[in-house]
Amino acid sequence: MKKIISAVSIVAMVFASISFNPGIAVAAQMTGVKDTLSSVTVNTTATHVITATLVGANTFATGETITYDFADADFILNAIGSWQATDFSFNDGTARTVTAVSSTSGVDPACTAGPNNVAVTINTTTNNFKVTACGSYTASGAAPTITFTINGTAGNGTMTNKATDVDSSVFTITESGADSATGAVVAETNATVNITATVAPTLTFANDDNTVGFGALTSGAARWANGAATGSASTVTAHTMTVGTNATTGYTLTYNGPTLTSGANTIAAATITADPDGVPGSAQFALGATVTGTGTVTSGYSTSANDYKFVASTVSQVASATGPVSSDSIAVRYLANIPASQPAGSYATNLDWVATGNF
């Protein structure tokens, strides 16, 4: 019986020393721990966005610190003098102000008091970052989610991933109020995937009619060509062309051909400016256009401004675009006037319309 009592007493003493010893403290484990890198490609600078949530009623308050420690061999920090306050941001439910960072590795900078002020201590040898809440700091709410950002790419300081593959590179977060956490990140040679594609040059061109005409011309009034080749006494579109291209600097639309000709006789090429029907009773042959889309009509050919023009047997530009277009529509109109003395005959011409992609 004495042996049994002694054994029970020993067990009870051991249990008491383990479970009720006030000298043993167990740190509370933060939740939602992660470090999101802008890139995990090896030998590449990266921004780290580290988040973790404190436990229970714990807050982040004046004089407290939270330390982020990365595996020494897995990252390289550039010179301590390169790091600036703008390389960091800190948010514990409120966006705080980073007032100062270390100018000497591992040495705490001056922490200017203020309700939102924090300072960052940087150790470039141990890859350690410590955030300190300065005096007069307004404490966070209970169990805040804390986000600490190290702008390791865009700022002055840089944090470079290891030059070789790393799996499960463990980092620790320690809050002076006894909360702590661990997480892991990686470095991967093939994290950046190069994707290629080729887009072939394109140029499309269509014309809805290749036989148009004025019908019978008279000296008393202007006449416009139409698709039926019977002519019109009022302005009308003779045919419509469409142009599309992915050329970097767009397209150019030109024509080339002689004026209306019958044997040795011609109807003179003309330039008509801001005049809806030219000069009836005179010899005039000209064309104009309107563009629907992103292109524009060349000066002198805009029928919207009552401008018509024709240059015989010369490559002449009528419309163009300066960038890629899906589908421009170019409506072409032809205007003719003749004097009473114009020799009789069947007049005709062939115009070559050319769309050129400006690649």
Q: For the stretch 204-242, what's the b/e string if a residue is b when 16 or more beta carbons lie within 10 angstroms of its beta carbon?
A: ebeeeeeebbbeebeeeebbbbbbeeebbeeebbbbbbb
Q: Is the pLDDT of residue 18 over 90?
A: no
Question: H or E segment at 7?
Answer: helix 2-19
Residue with tokens 């102000």: 97
* Measured distance CA(111)–CA(212) in Å, rounded: 85
- Over residues 271-291, the pLDDT tens digits come to 999 999 999 999 999 999 999
Structure tokens at 258: 């002689």
Q: Is the pLDDT of residue 11 over 50?
A: no
- Over residues 226-253, the pLDDT tens digits come to 999 999 999 999 999 999 999 999 999 9
Q: What is the pLDDT of residue 3?
A: 43
- Please provide the average confidence, as pLDDT, over all residues in the chain: 93
Residue with tokens 């970052």: 129
When pLDDT is cut at 50, 70 and 90, the band that residue 21 belongs to is very low
Q: What is the pLDDT of residue 319?
A: 98
At a CB cut-off of 8 Å and minimum separation 6, what does 185 contact?
Answer: 35, 37, 40, 74, 169, 171
Question: H or E segment at 205?
Answer: strand 203-207
Question: H or E segment at 337?
Answer: strand 325-337
When pLDDT is cut at 50, 70 and 90, the band that residue 178 belongs to is confident
Q: What is the pLDDT of residue 177?
A: 84
Phi-psi region of 314 (alpha: psi -120 to 50; beta: other; left: phi over 0): beta
Q: Is the pLDDT of residue 23 over 50?
A: no
- Region 316-330 average pLDDT: 98
When pLDDT is cut at 50, 70 and 90, the band that residue 25 belongs to is very low
Asked if 325 contacts 294 with a C-beta cutoff of 8 angstroms, the reply is yes
Q: Is the pLDDT of residue 318 over 70?
A: yes
Structure tokens at 134: 């300065």
In the sheet that holds 251-256, the strands lie side by side as 296-297, 316-320, 251-256, 352-357
Structure tokens at 346: 């069947």
pTM of the model: 0.64
Q: Which domains are seen in the chain, by residue range? A: 27-187 (2.60.40), 203-357 (2.60.40)
| DSSP line for 122-188 | EETTTTEEEEEEPTTPPPPPSSPEEEEEE-TTTSSS-EEE-SS-EEEEEEEEEETTSEEEEEEEEEB
- CB-side exposure of 338: number of CA atoms within 13 Å? 20
Q: How far apart are the first and last CA of the chain?
A: 104
